[in-house]
Structure 1
């Protein structure tokens, strides 16, 4: 078994053996059922990006898929919801691990965008491997299906790549409605990048369930908003619901996940909104 796959297996096993792998409840406020349903839906899309073969993501049309050493993603079209969905895979290989640890901050330069603020070098390199194709495919789909919205999503490493992709797509296609859903997303860039993400996409169009301690702020990184914190960690025995999710304020809300001691990449990192990441091939049919 590949060492990265084995780590994911251990994470899932930890969840299965722990009925209450939970952080303490703090200031529950809850979210709407419709938003919770969206979080569940795009968690499934993020999980689908891990599948070796995904001919119909969530039963929808597969427009294009990308499988490069440092970038794995697909673009799907949901005609019932009138959406173009771009989903990026998280870490599952040695190359991905090398991408994760390339934490140098570099200017955000990519097809459709060139800005002086700094982002994670490894994440940017991964996104740039597919950026031109992603931008071209999304642009052509929007031309063929006017009025469709764009959703960009991803888990872990894929969440950070998704944040870069969504920002670049919105910059290049400012008239396209766009939302960003990420799960277990590490910090991706500096404070100026975080502010630009919120200004460009709109904080109300960003839905992030993040890893607060990764990558450390002392390296110059800051989270962007808006975090939706499931403050009681779900398990296969207790998937919880909208009353256990808190909408946070800003990128580094001290009353949200930053209020507890983080254990980094832990078993809960592979379980979001009732979905075990990676291990469900049914999200592809």
Structure 2
């Protein structure tokens, strides 16, 4: 009888949580299959071996992302930043993925999250303030130019196809600035953003403007992940505090005793739904480095270790300011391009 009671309670919880599904007129805003696919793309960017990543032969480069074609791989060695751009044939889309912070440096990075806010110099966004460190990581490094060039190159080859931008942790912060940048400053259309374990990146005014341009953006958060709680949200200093943009999807377990079931709860459009990740303490690094059953950290414990085959040097098109860019022509495999050269 007690087991049946537990089962009944679990079913009630599932019904209550799943009842908040959000849809547009044409389709659901959150797609679980797409989330798992983009989580795999995000996980792959943590691969240390650039040869395996560039040729899409890494251990993480399979399953839902099989057949992906990397067009441009940008590594800012000096600032330990990385992103890749490529073509996903099955989705007929450009995919842009940003790497986040290495596992063993998260604690130091958390301390840096208390940096001051910066006025956002974007048209039509007065009083919007953003996190200076995250903004600079995307805008004031060579990463931005490399990503934009890769997107343009991919679209020239495959047409004006959709752009899907993703990233984990600090990579999610950079992905968010990238998606907004593409729309506001480059006039791009059909841009999708989905991030994992992303910190707050701006104030409430910024979040409001962000929502207008990327109304269907998704931030996936996991259980007690520490990073989405940072920088801290100060309820009594609303003009100065950092504020998440919507929409959060909180992945967590519900149930009793051994009857536990993971759910993906779609939160409200405030960006700070008190019933979602804000309802629990953010105290787990382990919850930060695992999303949807997928590992989100590097194989190496080195802070910014990368490895590549000497043969990859023929694809290197730039080493400006300590940045390595590997690039190839769309539609050609690495071997085919080598033969053409």
Shorter-chain TM-score category? 0.7 to 0.9
- What is aligned with 1:46? 42
Q: What's the CA shift for 1:280?
A: 7.3
- What is aligned with 2:279? 259
- What is aligned with 2:267? 248
- What is aligned with 2:243? 222
Paired residues for 1:65-80 under 5 Å: 65-68=73-76, 69-70=78-79, 71-80=81-90
From 46, 61, 68, the counterpart of 1:60: 68
- What is aligned with 2:174? 161
Paired residues for 1:139-178 under 5 Å: 139-178=152-191
> What SS does the corresponding residue of 1:170 show, helix, strand or coil?
helix
TM-score by length of 1: 0.76
List per-residue Cα deviations over 1:138-193 (Å, max 9, x = no partner): 13322332241101100011111111111101213435211111000000111111
**Which whole-Å CA distance do the structure 2 matches of 1:245 and 1:100 have between them?**
30
Change (3 A) 1:120 1:149: same
Do the aligned residues in 1 keep the contact of 2:207 with 2:245 (CA within 8 Å)?
A: yes
Q: What's the CA shift for 1:240?
A: 6.0
Change (3 A) 1:280 1:40: farther
Paired residues for 1:89-100 under 5 Å: 89-92=99-102, 97=109, 100=112
- What is aligned with 2:335? none
Q: What's the CA shift for 1:87?
A: 0.5
Q: Give 1 or 2 for the bigger CA radius of gyration.
A: 2
Paired residue total: 245
Larger relative CO (CA 8 A, sep 6+): 1 or 2?
Answer: 1
Paired residues for 1:75-224 under 5 Å: 75-92=85-102, 97=109, 100-101=112-113, 103-109=115-121, 115-116=125-126, 117-128=128-139, 129=141, 130-202=143-215, 204=216, 206-210=217-221, 211-218=227-234, 220-224=241-245
Change (3 A) 1:137 1:114: farther
Q: What's the CA shift for 1:213?
A: 1.7
Do the aligned residues in 2 keep the contact of 1:99 with 1:126 (CA within 8 Å)?
A: no
- What is aligned with 1:22? none
List per-residue Cα deviations over 1:207-233 (Å, max 9, x = no partner): 112444211123620000011111229
**Which whole-Å CA distance do the structure 2 matches of 1:88 and 1:99 have between them?**
21
- What is aligned with 1:5? none
**Which whole-Å CA distance do the structure 1 matches of 2:39 and 2:261 have between them?**
15
> What SS does the corresponding residue of 2:268 show, helix, strand or coil?
coil
**Which whole-Å CA distance do the structure 1 matches of 2:120 and 2:83 have between them?**
20
Do the aligned residues in 2 keep the contact of 1:100 with 1:157 (CA within 8 Å)?
A: no
List per-residue Cα deviations over 1:244-270 (Å, max 9, x = no partner): 11111120011111112221x421111
Q: Could you list the runs of 5+ residues in structure 1 that have no partner in the other structure?
A: 1-24
Change (3 A) 1:99 1:254: closer
> What SS does the corresponding residue of 1:162 show, helix, strand or coil?
helix
> What SS does the corresponding residue of 2:275 show, helix, strand or coil?
coil
TM-score by length of 2: 0.64
**Which whole-Å CA distance do the structure 2 matches of 1:160 and 1:29 have between them?**
28
Do the aligned residues in 1 keep the contact of 2:155 with 2:161 (CA within 8 Å)?
A: yes
Alignment RMSD, CA only?
Answer: 3.0
Do the aligned residues in 2 keep the contact of 1:215 with 1:221 (CA within 8 Å)?
A: yes
